[in-house]
Amino acid sequence: MAEKETVEKWIDFFTILIKKVGFSGFIVITFLGIFLFIFSNKQQERFIDTYILFRNTGNNPLYCSLFILFLIVIIVILAVFYNKDMKLKKEENNRIGKEKSELMEICLKQKLSTSD
């Protein structure tokens, strides 16, 4: 029972974090946390040399391809996430507009003309 509560607390924590910093910020924070606290100094240097500076890769295009593929995946995930978010915001905005119009009609006691 305690394990389930712990998992739920972690899920709540990550949900709040994503809402505060956005999905891209969450990815950056997660990557930096893993990079700084789990990788050794040697692994950090090797990662930076290989995947950021593209040193010691020779003529192998795999490293550059992996980096580009990673960026494309991140862009697709962000597009899906933000499109859903914008859809929800648009629906909420429309709901508020309808509610305000209905309240205004009640206050004025006459039908308002709308652009619908």
List the chain residues with pLDDT less than 70. 1, 114-116
| pLDDT (0 to 100) of residue 115 | 66
Phi and psi at 80, nearest 5°, equal -65, -45
| pLDDT (0 to 100) of residue 105 | 85
Q: State the first-to-last Cα distance of the chain, in angstroms, to the nearest integer.
A: 52
| pLDDT (0 to 100) of residue 116 | 58
| pLDDT (0 to 100) of residue 111 | 80
Q: CA-to-CA distance for 94 and 101, rounded, in angstroms?
A: 11
